[in-house]
Amino acid sequence: MVLASALLATLGLVSPVSAGASKGVELGASDTEGVTTSATPLRGTRGVSSYEGTGVPSDVTAYGAQRVPAGHRIEGYSSPTGDDFGTQSIIGADGRVRVDPTTSFPARATVLITRTVSGVERLHCTGWMFGASLVLTAGHCVFNQSTGWYTGQLRFYPGANGTTYPYGSCTAATLRSNTGWTVDGSPDADYGGASLNCSIGNTTGWYGAYWTTASLNGTSTTIQGYPGDKSQQQWIHSDQVRASNSLRLYYDNDTVGGNSGSSVHTVRADGSSGCSGRCSLAFHAYGVGSGTHNSGPRITESRFNLVIGWR
Amino acid sequence: MRRPLRMRAVLLIGMLVLGACGRESATSDQDPPPTLTNTQATVTGVVVDGSGRPVDGALVQPKSLDSPPLPVPELAVLSGPDGRYEWHLNAGRYEFTATKDDRTGPPSEVTAAAGATEQVELHLP
């Protein structure tokens, strides 16, 4: 798309500025500063910084979210001892640590996603706030090649913590993905999102994100989300990028079914180019056997511009 | 400097071809639904306990047995009140296990073909 836009500009059919991808070509250290376009050539790193939000709201309904009483039952795996079990995506010893409480950032911007089928609501995936009303996740969490969109089936609980839901829940107004996933079914393009019927991101905050053409090998990676073996609790594990290509990142963070859609993020200092704070590098999507790595679609320039356009 | 009209036409055709190859355009459930493919395999079945009764809320996990292993989506797929579960996966060889309350059953192997549905009963001790 960007190449096509550049060709349009070459043809003199559009101006150089509008030839860039949708918006957000060069964003400041804080996205609250607004989008600033730049006519300078794209190179290096571009992104948008994380925003820590305002904290726990006294009334989530002020943000359009629904209150969820403590003890609300989401069907899922229950472990009386909290012990984990061996799965293919725990690489070596299980290094996961519980996040408790979940009212600090970025735990509160990490979203438990449920899916309701035949009247039974169950843990489904993880997502991450990327704007006041936008959650990003894996493409397979919103669209299935065999059955289509999960329209009307998903509910979003930012910062869920076991049986408590400090930020309530929201539903989706629009489910989003890209044709690389919905048409081609490419694992490299397995990312999507949901525009919510609430603006809870104003209090939970949201993750940042950036793309770079430089190698990311060795960059620290953190995944926090809702693994299916932990009773709707949020768990975290850190590692680093072990391998990468232009469309995918590979890492050894310990994950389990339910972690799909988590942000694969790194922490960047204030003033870092493109993004500072909690900066997403990829959408976690896949686990594989020992001897290889877990993986997810990498945030590229065109993908960054695409998801910024969903805000 | 203005380019000749023929050169512009050639560049425009090239742009359209490259654009068609991009394949990552934004889409949503507000758009006309895409044609669903039949390239995935479906693995479904029931999780039962030692007495043969269906188990509700068991976490069903596939593991690829292919070499190299196929990436497995990290969805949480849990059995329903009737014990039933359903996975949609790329065609390949998989080992399925069910887990609940720190009990993990024996793995069951299946070869799943594109467009086909395989039935796999999973057991919990």
Predicted confidence at residue A70, as pLDDT, reads 87
Cβ of residue B53 closer than 8 Å to a chain A Cβ = no
Name the token pair of B74.
């990290």
Q: Choose between A89 and A128: higher pLDDT.
A: A128
- What percent of chain A is modeled with pLDDT above 70? 80
Query: Distance between CA atoms of A96 and A223, rounded to whole angstroms?
Result: 10
Cβ of residue B51 closer than 8 Å to a chain A Cβ = no
- Would the CA dihedral through A136, A142, A143, A148 be positive or negative? negative
Separation in Å, CA of A212 to nearest CA in chain B: 18
Name the token pair of B55.
């188990």
Q: How far is CA A4 from CA A13, A166, A289, A302, B16, in A?
A: 11, 45, 39, 12, 7
The answer to whether A179 contacts B81, with C-beta atoms less than 8 Å apart, is: no
Predicted confidence at residue B11, as pLDDT, reads 47
- Structural domain containing residue A39: 1-311
The answer to whether A179 contacts B75, with C-beta atoms less than 8 Å apart, is: no
Query: Distance between CA atoms of A149 and A172, rounded to whole angstroms?
Result: 12
CA-nearest of B64, B70, B66, B60 to B95 is B64
Q: B13 and B89 in contact (C-beta within 8 Å)?
A: no
Q: Residue A283: pLDDT above 60? A: yes
> What's the distance, CA B110 to chain centroid?
15
Residue B108 pairs in a beta bridge with B96
Q: Residue A288: pLDDT above 50? A: yes
Q: What digits encode the pLDDT tens for the residues A105-116?
A: 999 999 999 999
Alpha helices in A175-300 (DSSP H): 179-182, 201-204
Contacts of B108 (CB under 8 A, 6+ apart): B95, B96, B97, B120, B121, B122, B123
**Residue A36: band (very low, low, confident or very high) from pLDDT cuts 50, 70, 90:** very low
First CA to last CA across chain A, in angstroms? 19
Average pLDDT score over chain A:
83
A140 in catalytic set: yes
Cβ of residue B104 closer than 8 Å to a chain A Cβ = yes
- What percent of chain B is modeled with pLDDT above 90? 64
Q: What is the mean pLDDT of residues A208-236?
A: 94
Name the token pair of A89.
């995506």
Q: Residue A22: pLDDT above 90? A: no
Using DSSP's 3-state secondary structure scheme, residue A61 falls into helix
Predicted confidence at residue A189, as pLDDT, reads 97
Chain A hits for B24, Cβ within 8 Å: 1, 178-180, 189, 302-303, 306
Using DSSP's 3-state secondary structure scheme, residue B40 falls into strand
Predicted confidence at residue A58, as pLDDT, reads 81
* ipTM entry: 0.80
CA-only gyration radius of chain B, Å: 23
Most confident of A16-20, A174-178, B20-24: A174-178
Average pLDDT score over chain B:
85
Predicted confidence at residue B22, as pLDDT, reads 54
Q: State the best of B74, B93, B95, B96 to mutate against chain A, taking most chain A CBs within 10 Å.
A: B74
Q: What is the mean pLDDT of residues A165-188?
A: 96
Contacts of A222 (CB under 8 A, 6+ apart): A236, A237, A238, A253, A264, A265, A266, A267
Using DSSP's 3-state secondary structure scheme, residue A273 falls into coil
Using DSSP's 3-state secondary structure scheme, residue A149 falls into strand
Q: What digits encode the pLDDT tens for the residues A48-89?
A: 999 999 998 789 999 999 999 988 988 765 444 334 344 457
Predicted confidence at residue A53, as pLDDT, reads 96
**Residue A43: band (very low, low, confident or very high) from pLDDT cuts 50, 70, 90:** low
Q: What digits encode the pLDDT tens for the residues B39-77?
A: 899 999 999 999 999 999 899 999 999 988 888 999 999
Q: What digits encode the pLDDT tens for the residues A185-207?
A: 999 999 999 999 999 999 999 99
Query: Distance between CA atoms of A59 and A73, rounded to whole angstroms?
Result: 21
Q: What is the mean pLDDT of residues B106-113?
A: 96
Domain count, chain A: 1
* Strand bridging mode B40-48 / B122-123: parallel
Predicted confidence at residue A188, as pLDDT, reads 95
Structural domain boundaries of chain B? Answer: 40-123
Is domain B40-123 given the CATH code 2.60.40.1120 in the classification? yes
Q: State the best of B42, B75, B79 to mutate against chain A, taking most chain A CBs within 10 Å.
A: B75
Q: What CATH number does the domain containing A284 carry?
A: 2.40.10.10
